[in-house]
Amino acid sequence: MTSSADVPVTAQLWRRVVAEGIGTGLLVTVVVGSGIAAANLSNDAGLQLLENSFATALGLAVLILMFGPVSGAHFNPVVSAADWWLGRRDRSGLSLRELTAYVPAQVIGAMAGAVLANLMYGEAAVSWSTTSRSAGHLWIGETVATAGLIVLIFSLVWSGRAAIAPAAVGAYIGAAYWFTSSTSFANPAVTIGRAFSDTFAGIAPSSVLGFVFFQIVGACLGTGLVVALFPRVVSTTKSGVTS
Protein backbone atom coordinates (compact mmCIF):
# COMPACT_ATOMS: atom_id res chain seq x y z
CA MET A 1 0.00 0.00 0.00
CA THR A 2 1.01 3.59 -0.39
CA SER A 3 0.25 6.91 1.19
CA SER A 4 -2.13 9.12 -0.72
CA ALA A 5 0.68 11.63 -0.97
CA ASP A 6 2.53 9.20 -3.22
CA VAL A 7 -0.32 9.06 -5.76
CA PRO A 8 0.30 11.15 -8.89
CA VAL A 9 -1.64 14.39 -8.88
CA THR A 10 -3.01 13.41 -12.29
CA ALA A 11 -5.03 10.57 -10.72
CA GLN A 12 -8.54 11.98 -10.53
CA LEU A 13 -10.65 11.02 -7.54
CA TRP A 14 -13.05 8.88 -9.54
CA ARG A 15 -10.14 6.87 -10.96
CA ARG A 16 -8.73 6.37 -7.49
CA VAL A 17 -12.10 5.28 -6.13
CA VAL A 18 -12.57 2.79 -8.98
CA ALA A 19 -9.07 1.43 -8.35
CA GLU A 20 -9.81 1.00 -4.65
CA GLY A 21 -13.05 -0.82 -5.42
CA ILE A 22 -11.52 -3.15 -7.98
CA GLY A 23 -8.38 -3.74 -5.91
CA THR A 24 -10.30 -4.57 -2.74
CA GLY A 25 -12.64 -6.79 -4.74
CA LEU A 26 -9.78 -8.73 -6.27
CA LEU A 27 -8.15 -9.07 -2.85
CA VAL A 28 -11.30 -10.72 -1.50
CA THR A 29 -11.48 -12.87 -4.63
CA VAL A 30 -7.94 -14.06 -3.90
CA VAL A 31 -8.73 -14.75 -0.23
CA VAL A 32 -12.05 -16.52 -0.80
CA GLY A 33 -11.09 -18.22 -4.06
CA SER A 34 -7.86 -19.65 -2.70
CA GLY A 35 -9.76 -20.78 0.39
CA ILE A 36 -12.24 -22.69 -1.75
CA ALA A 37 -9.45 -24.19 -3.84
CA ALA A 38 -7.54 -25.21 -0.70
CA ALA A 39 -10.60 -26.96 0.74
CA ASN A 40 -11.11 -28.79 -2.56
CA LEU A 41 -7.49 -29.90 -2.77
CA SER A 42 -6.88 -31.07 0.79
CA ASN A 43 -8.70 -32.36 3.85
CA ASP A 44 -5.93 -31.21 6.20
CA ALA A 45 -6.75 -27.90 7.91
CA GLY A 46 -3.11 -26.92 8.29
CA LEU A 47 -2.39 -27.47 4.62
CA GLN A 48 -5.52 -25.56 3.67
CA LEU A 49 -4.38 -22.59 5.73
CA LEU A 50 -0.91 -22.76 4.19
CA GLU A 51 -2.35 -22.70 0.68
CA ASN A 52 -4.76 -19.89 1.54
CA SER A 53 -2.12 -17.72 3.25
CA PHE A 54 0.48 -18.27 0.51
CA ALA A 55 -1.93 -17.23 -2.25
CA THR A 56 -3.13 -14.22 -0.24
CA ALA A 57 0.40 -12.97 0.49
CA LEU A 58 1.41 -13.16 -3.16
CA GLY A 59 -1.89 -11.80 -4.45
CA LEU A 60 -1.84 -8.81 -2.10
CA ALA A 61 1.70 -7.88 -3.12
CA VAL A 62 0.75 -8.02 -6.81
CA LEU A 63 -2.41 -5.94 -6.28
CA ILE A 64 -0.47 -3.25 -4.41
CA LEU A 65 1.99 -3.05 -7.31
CA MET A 66 -0.89 -2.92 -9.78
CA PHE A 67 -3.09 -0.27 -8.17
CA GLY A 68 -0.65 1.62 -5.95
CA PRO A 69 0.27 4.20 -8.60
CA VAL A 70 -3.41 5.07 -9.05
CA SER A 71 -4.98 5.09 -5.59
CA GLY A 72 -2.27 4.20 -3.10
CA ALA A 73 -3.68 0.66 -2.90
CA HIS A 74 -5.17 0.98 0.58
CA PHE A 75 -7.86 -1.70 0.02
CA ASN A 76 -8.71 -1.24 3.69
CA PRO A 77 -10.92 1.34 5.47
CA VAL A 78 -8.72 1.51 8.57
CA VAL A 79 -5.62 2.16 6.46
CA SER A 80 -7.45 4.96 4.65
CA ALA A 81 -8.67 6.38 7.97
CA ALA A 82 -5.15 6.28 9.41
CA ASP A 83 -3.81 7.97 6.29
CA TRP A 84 -6.35 10.77 6.73
CA TRP A 85 -5.69 11.15 10.45
CA LEU A 86 -1.89 11.09 10.27
CA GLY A 87 -1.75 13.44 7.29
CA ARG A 88 -4.41 15.93 8.29
CA ARG A 89 -2.03 18.56 9.71
CA ASP A 90 0.23 18.90 6.68
CA ARG A 91 -2.39 17.68 4.20
CA SER A 92 -0.17 14.80 3.07
CA GLY A 93 -2.88 12.16 3.53
CA LEU A 94 -6.39 11.67 2.24
CA SER A 95 -8.82 14.53 2.62
CA LEU A 96 -12.07 13.85 4.46
CA ARG A 97 -13.87 13.95 1.10
CA GLU A 98 -11.50 11.36 -0.33
CA LEU A 99 -11.87 9.17 2.75
CA THR A 100 -15.66 9.17 2.48
CA ALA A 101 -15.31 8.12 -1.17
CA TYR A 102 -12.69 5.41 -0.58
CA VAL A 103 -14.45 3.51 2.20
CA PRO A 104 -17.77 2.73 0.41
CA ALA A 105 -15.81 1.70 -2.70
CA GLN A 106 -13.71 -0.68 -0.63
CA VAL A 107 -16.74 -2.25 1.05
CA ILE A 108 -18.74 -2.61 -2.16
CA GLY A 109 -15.69 -3.99 -3.94
CA ALA A 110 -15.15 -6.55 -1.18
CA MET A 111 -18.71 -7.82 -1.45
CA ALA A 112 -18.43 -8.07 -5.23
CA GLY A 113 -15.12 -9.91 -4.89
CA ALA A 114 -16.69 -12.58 -2.70
CA VAL A 115 -19.53 -13.04 -5.18
CA LEU A 116 -17.00 -13.40 -8.01
CA ALA A 117 -15.04 -16.06 -6.13
CA ASN A 118 -18.22 -17.97 -5.33
CA LEU A 119 -19.32 -17.94 -8.97
CA MET A 120 -15.90 -19.02 -10.26
CA TYR A 121 -16.12 -22.18 -8.17
CA GLY A 122 -19.72 -22.99 -8.99
CA GLU A 123 -21.07 -21.85 -5.63
CA ALA A 124 -24.19 -19.75 -5.11
CA ALA A 125 -23.44 -16.08 -5.75
CA VAL A 126 -24.16 -15.34 -2.08
CA SER A 127 -24.03 -18.02 0.60
CA TRP A 128 -23.90 -16.45 4.05
CA SER A 129 -21.08 -17.92 6.06
CA THR A 130 -21.91 -20.08 9.07
CA THR A 131 -18.38 -19.96 10.51
CA SER A 132 -18.68 -18.28 13.89
CA ARG A 133 -15.61 -16.28 14.93
CA SER A 134 -16.91 -14.61 18.08
CA ALA A 135 -14.48 -15.14 20.96
CA GLY A 136 -12.21 -12.96 23.05
CA HIS A 137 -8.98 -14.56 21.91
CA LEU A 138 -9.94 -13.95 18.26
CA TRP A 139 -10.64 -10.29 18.98
CA ILE A 140 -7.20 -9.98 20.58
CA GLY A 141 -5.76 -11.52 17.43
CA GLU A 142 -7.53 -8.98 15.24
CA THR A 143 -6.33 -6.11 17.41
CA VAL A 144 -2.73 -7.28 17.16
CA ALA A 145 -2.94 -8.00 13.42
CA THR A 146 -4.42 -4.61 12.57
CA ALA A 147 -2.10 -2.62 14.82
CA GLY A 148 0.91 -4.35 13.29
CA LEU A 149 -0.31 -3.65 9.77
CA ILE A 150 -0.73 0.07 10.46
CA VAL A 151 2.70 0.33 12.08
CA LEU A 152 4.32 -1.50 9.18
CA ILE A 153 2.75 0.63 6.45
CA PHE A 154 3.36 4.04 7.94
CA SER A 155 6.80 3.27 9.35
CA LEU A 156 7.87 2.35 5.82
CA VAL A 157 6.32 5.47 4.28
CA TRP A 158 7.58 7.87 6.94
CA SER A 159 11.13 6.51 6.69
CA GLY A 160 11.27 6.69 2.90
CA ARG A 161 11.13 2.93 2.32
CA ALA A 162 7.69 2.79 0.74
CA ALA A 163 9.03 1.08 -2.39
CA ILE A 164 9.35 -2.20 -0.48
CA ALA A 165 5.80 -2.02 0.87
CA PRO A 166 4.25 -4.52 -1.61
CA ALA A 167 6.61 -7.29 -0.53
CA ALA A 168 6.60 -6.27 3.13
CA VAL A 169 2.82 -6.02 3.46
CA GLY A 170 2.29 -9.29 1.60
CA ALA A 171 4.83 -11.00 3.85
CA TYR A 172 3.25 -9.56 7.00
CA ILE A 173 -0.26 -10.70 6.10
CA GLY A 174 1.03 -14.14 5.10
CA ALA A 175 2.82 -14.48 8.43
CA ALA A 176 -0.09 -13.06 10.43
CA TYR A 177 -2.36 -15.82 9.09
CA TRP A 178 -0.25 -18.07 11.30
CA PHE A 179 0.81 -16.04 14.32
CA THR A 180 -2.61 -14.55 15.13
CA SER A 181 -5.49 -16.57 16.52
CA SER A 182 -7.93 -14.90 14.11
CA THR A 183 -5.85 -15.63 10.95
CA SER A 184 -5.48 -11.88 10.48
CA PHE A 185 -8.43 -10.39 8.65
CA ALA A 186 -7.16 -6.91 9.75
CA ASN A 187 -9.55 -5.21 7.32
CA PRO A 188 -13.20 -4.22 7.86
CA ALA A 189 -14.06 -4.31 4.14
CA VAL A 190 -12.55 -7.77 3.67
CA THR A 191 -14.32 -8.95 6.81
CA ILE A 192 -17.68 -7.87 5.41
CA GLY A 193 -16.91 -9.44 2.04
CA ARG A 194 -15.94 -12.79 3.58
CA ALA A 195 -19.37 -13.02 5.22
CA PHE A 196 -20.82 -13.52 1.73
CA SER A 197 -19.21 -16.94 1.27
CA ASP A 198 -19.92 -20.04 3.35
CA THR A 199 -16.53 -21.51 2.54
CA PHE A 200 -13.12 -21.98 4.16
CA ALA A 201 -12.41 -18.22 4.42
CA GLY A 202 -15.88 -17.17 5.55
CA ILE A 203 -17.05 -15.45 8.70
CA ALA A 204 -20.60 -15.54 10.00
CA PRO A 205 -22.45 -12.21 9.66
CA SER A 206 -23.08 -12.30 13.42
CA SER A 207 -19.29 -12.24 13.98
CA VAL A 208 -18.55 -9.33 11.67
CA LEU A 209 -19.31 -6.49 14.07
CA GLY A 210 -16.95 -7.81 16.75
CA PHE A 211 -14.12 -8.21 14.26
CA VAL A 212 -14.64 -4.75 12.79
CA PHE A 213 -14.75 -3.13 16.23
CA PHE A 214 -11.45 -4.65 17.29
CA GLN A 215 -9.88 -3.87 13.92
CA ILE A 216 -10.72 -0.23 14.61
CA VAL A 217 -9.22 -0.57 18.10
CA GLY A 218 -6.08 -2.09 16.58
CA ALA A 219 -5.87 0.70 14.01
CA CYS A 220 -6.06 3.33 16.76
CA LEU A 221 -3.31 1.58 18.72
CA GLY A 222 -1.18 1.23 15.62
CA THR A 223 -1.62 4.88 14.73
CA GLY A 224 -0.56 5.88 18.22
CA LEU A 225 2.54 3.70 17.97
CA VAL A 226 3.48 5.24 14.64
CA VAL A 227 3.34 8.73 16.11
CA ALA A 228 5.29 7.69 19.21
CA LEU A 229 7.97 5.55 17.59
CA PHE A 230 8.55 6.92 14.11
CA PRO A 231 9.10 10.69 13.94
CA ARG A 232 8.30 11.88 10.47
CA VAL A 233 11.84 12.54 9.31
CA VAL A 234 10.98 12.08 5.64
CA SER A 235 7.98 13.91 4.21
CA THR A 236 5.57 11.59 2.44
CA THR A 237 5.16 14.26 -0.20
CA LYS A 238 8.70 13.41 -1.31
CA SER A 239 8.77 9.66 -0.69
CA GLY A 240 7.56 6.93 -2.88
CA VAL A 241 4.90 4.13 -2.04
CA THR A 242 2.31 2.17 0.93
CA SER A 243 -1.49 -1.25 2.02
Whole-angstrom distance, CA of residue 20 vs CA of residue 42: 33
* Upper half-sphere CA count for residue 27 (Cβ side, 13 Å): 37
pTM over 0.85: yes
Q: What are phi and psi of 10, to 5 degrees?
A: -75, -10
The pLDDT tens digits of the residues spanning 174-233 come to: 999 999 999 999 999 999 999 999 999 999 999 999 999 999 999 999 999 999 998 765
The runs of H, that is alpha helices, within the chain are: 13-41, 45-71, 77-87, 96-120, 136-158, 165-179, 188-194, 205-229
Cβ 117 vs Cβ 106: under 8 Å? no
Tens of pLDDT, residue by residue, the chain (243 residues): 655 555 554 579 999 999 999 999 999 999 999 999 999 999 999 999 999 999 999 999 999 999 999 999 999 999 999 999 999 877 888 999 999 999 999 999 999 999 999 999 999 999 999 999 999 999 999 999 999 999 999 999 988 999 999 999 999 999 999 999 999 999 999 999 999 999 999 999 999 999 999 999 999 999 999 999 987 654 433 333 334
**What pLDDT was estimated at residue 88?**
86
**What pLDDT was estimated at residue 6?**
54
**What pLDDT was estimated at residue 239?**
34
Contacting residues for 84 by C-beta, under 8 A, at least 6 apart: 93, 94, 95, 96, 98, 99
Whole-angstrom distance, CA of residue 191 vs CA of residue 187: 6
Domains of the chain by residue range: 4-229
Contacting residues for 21 by C-beta, under 8 A, at least 6 apart: 105, 106, 108, 109, 112
**What pLDDT was estimated at residue 7?**
53
Beta bridge partners of 127: 197
CA distances from residue 135 to 6, 26, 128, 140, 142 in whole angstroms, order as listed = 38, 28, 19, 9, 11
Class of domain 4-229: mainly alpha
